Amino acid sequence: MQRRDFLLSSLAGAGMARGAGARRPNILFIMADDHASHAISAYGSRINRTPNIDRIAQGGVRMDNCFCTNSICTPSRGVILTGQYSHITGVKTLQDPLDPARQNVAKLLQAGGYATGIVGKWHLHKDPAGFDYWNILPGQGAYYDPVFIENGEKKKHQGYCTDLIGDFSLNWLKGRPKDKPFFLMCHHKAPHRNWQPGPKYAHLFDGQTIPEPDNLFDDYAHRSEAAHRARMRVGENMNRNDVKTDFPPGLKGNDLRRWAYQLYIKDYLRCVQSVDDNVGRLLDYLKAENLEQDTIVIYTSDQGFFLGDHGWFDKRFMYEESLRMPFLMRYPREIKPGGLNRDMVLNLDFAETFLDYAGLKVPADMQGRSFRQNLRGRTPKDWRKSMYYRYWMHLTNDHYVAAHYGVRTHTHKLIYYYGKPLGATGTGKEITPPEWELFDLKSDPREMRSVYGEAEYAKVQADLTKEMARLQELYRDTPA
C-alpha cells in the first residue's frame, strides 16, 4: 500500500474521511428488475448460482433486511431517486411519471461535481433529469434487438438487451471525464416478465428439475381474501407468452402449477445468468482500471419477486419475498469483506446514502436516512426498528392485488387491505372488504397463517396498529 493510500484508509477507518480534501468514491449502482434475493447464491439460493454478483458480497457486505416501500417497478424507482415515499413523489402506480422538475439524487450528485450516467431500464415515463448521459429503454423495453433512447434519440440495436446494457455501461465508463468521480446507474430489464433468455443461456437447466418452494401449492387458507383473489398463480394466471409453448390440454390444478413452474423459473434464472455475466464485466473493468478501492459497487433490484412462493409469480404484496430487495455492496475503503448485516434499510435510504458518501448535504425533504455506518457494522443506536409500506394499485386488472398498507418490525408484520370500490380500473361493481393480516415472522417466516384477532397476539396487534399510525404521520401519508 502506498503511504498516501495508507493514510487515507486510516482516516476512513476512523470515520474522518469526510470533509475538505477527502476522497470521493465513484458509485456504480447496478439494479436488476424483479430479481429476488433467493435467486442469488450469496443469499443462499437453492435454485441457481450467481458467481459474479457473489463477488460483490464476498468483497463487501450482504444486507439481509433491505425492503422496498412499494413493491412495484415504477414507484420503487421513484423512491430510489428521490428518497421520498410514493405519496410524496406522486409515483404511486406504474402509470405515474416522475416529474423531471423534482429534486433527485442524480441532480444533486451532478451539481456536486459527479459525472452522472444511466443506462437501461428507466420506466419513469418522462426523460431522465440529472444525468450527463442517458441511454434508456422506452417503457419496459424489449429483450431482443431493443430500441434505446440515447440522450433523447431513438436507436434500434441488434443483440440481447442485458448484454447491450453491459456494453453501453462499459462504453460510458471508458469515455467518462476522468477528472470527476462517477455515478452510474446500470439498470437491467432482466429478469422481468416475460423472462426471455439470451442465446448464451437458452438451454441452461435443460433436462434438470429446479427445486420447488415448499409452499408452491399454497391454498391461501388462514389468509386474507386479497391473497385468494390475486391473479398471480403460476400456471393458472399465466399465458402462452409466459410459458412459450402451448398449455397441455386438460392439465389442471397442482399438475398445471408444477409444469408451469419449471418452465417459468428456468427462463427467469436464464435471464438472471446473463445479468450475472454483465455484473462480472463491470467488476472486471474496475479491476483492470485499478478502480476497485475507490468505487462503491451495489447490486440490488427494484423489489423482490415470488419464485413460486405461495404458488405465485410477480410481486406487489407486502409479503416477504416481494418486500425484500437484495442489497450487496462493496467499498474496500470502508467495508470489510464478507460482512452480513440485518439492520432494516429501505430503498427510501439509497439517495441519502449516496449523498453521504459524496460528502453532500441531504435535503430536508428526503424521508430516508443514510446507512453508511450500518454498512460498516456500526449501527446508530436510534436506527429504525420498523418500516412502513404501501401498495396503491387497487385491483388493477392484470394481477388483481388489493391496495394495502402495513408495518413490519424484526418480528411481526401487520397488513391492512383497506378496500374500496373497483372504480374505473375494472367492472365498477365490486367492492372489496377491509381486512387485516398479522404475521409472526419468528414462528411463521413463510407467512402461511395470519394470527390477526388471536388473543395471544392482542398486545402485538395493538402496538403495531399504533406504530403504523405513527409512521403514517411521520411520512405524511393519509390513511384510507
Q: How far is the CB of 192 from Ca ion (least distance, A)?
A: 6
Half-sphere exposure of 55 (CA within 13 A, CB side): 15
Residue 32 or 451 with smaller CB distance to Ca ion = 32
Between the alpha carbon of residue 364 and those of residues 143, 147, 368, the distances in Å are: 39, 38, 10
Backbone angles phi, psi at 121, to 5 degrees: -75, 130
Q: How far is the CB of 371 from Ca ion (least distance, A)?
A: 22
Q: How far is the CB of 299 from Ca ion (least distance, A)?
A: 15
The type of residue at 29 is F
Q: Which strand ranges, in their side-by-side order, compose the sheet holding 386-391?
A: 386-391, 404-409, 412-417, 435-440
Cβ-contact 181, 26 below 8 angstroms: yes
Residue 34 or 309 with smaller CB distance to Ca ion = 34
Q: How far is the CB of 72 from Ca ion (least distance, A)?
A: 7
- Give the three-state DSSP class for 154: strand
418's CB contacts (< 8 A; 6+ apart) are 403, 404, 405, 434, 479, 480
Residue 316 or 394 with smaller CB distance to Ca ion = 316
Rounded Cα–Cα distance for residues 478 and 236 (Å)? 36
List the one residue from 17, 33, 40, 275 that touches Ca ion (CB under 5 A): 33
Residue 72 or 286 with smaller CB distance to Ca ion = 72
The site map against Ca ion for 138-167 (x = CB under 5 A) is ------------------------------
4's CB contacts (< 8 A; 6+ apart) are none
Cβ-contact 226, 435 below 8 angstroms: yes
Residue 80 or 164 with smaller CB distance to Ca ion = 80
36 contributes a contact to Ca ion by CB under 5 A: no
DSSP E strands: which ranges in 188-238? none
Cell of 455: 388473543
What is the number of the residue whose Cβ is closest to Ca ion?
A: 73
Q: How far is the CB of 378 from Ca ion (least distance, A)?
A: 31
* β-bridge partners, 136: 120, 149
Residue 33 or 467 with smaller CB distance to Ca ion = 33
The site map against Ca ion for 212-241 (x = CB under 5 A) is ------------------------------
Residue-level length of the chain: 480
Residue 319 or 439 with smaller CB distance to Ca ion = 319
Rounded Cα–Cα distance for residues 475 and 477 (Å)? 6
73 contributes a contact to Ca ion by CB under 5 A: yes
- Residues of span 285-314 touching Ca ion by CB under 5 A: 302
- Among the listed ranges 38-46, 69-77, 237-245, 447-455, the one in contact with Ca ion (CB under 5 A) is 69-77
Q: How far is the CB of 83 from Ca ion (least distance, A)?
A: 19
Q: How far is the CB of 79 from Ca ion (least distance, A)?
A: 12
Nearest of 384, 296, 357 to residue 56 by alpha carbon: 296
- Among the listed ranges 29-37, 288-296, 363-371, 435-443, the one in contact with Ca ion (CB under 5 A) is 29-37
Nearest of 42, 47, 24 to residue 339 by alpha carbon: 42
- Among the listed ranges 71-79, 240-248, 292-300, 367-375, the one in contact with Ca ion (CB under 5 A) is 71-79
Residue 33 or 242 with smaller CB distance to Ca ion = 33
Residue 74 or 295 with smaller CB distance to Ca ion = 74
Q: What number of helices (H) and strands (E) belong to the chain?
A: 13, 14
- Among the listed ranges 31-39, 234-242, 254-262, 358-366, the one in contact with Ca ion (CB under 5 A) is 31-39
Residue that is written with C-alpha cell 396487534 in the block: 461
79 contributes a contact to Ca ion by CB under 5 A: no
Rounded Cα–Cα distance for residues 130 and 134 (Å)? 9
- Give the three-state DSSP class for 448: coil
34 contributes a contact to Ca ion by CB under 5 A: yes
Q: How far is the CB of 141 from Ca ion (least distance, A)?
A: 12
Chain contacts with Ca ion (rule: CB under 5 A): 33-34, 73, 302
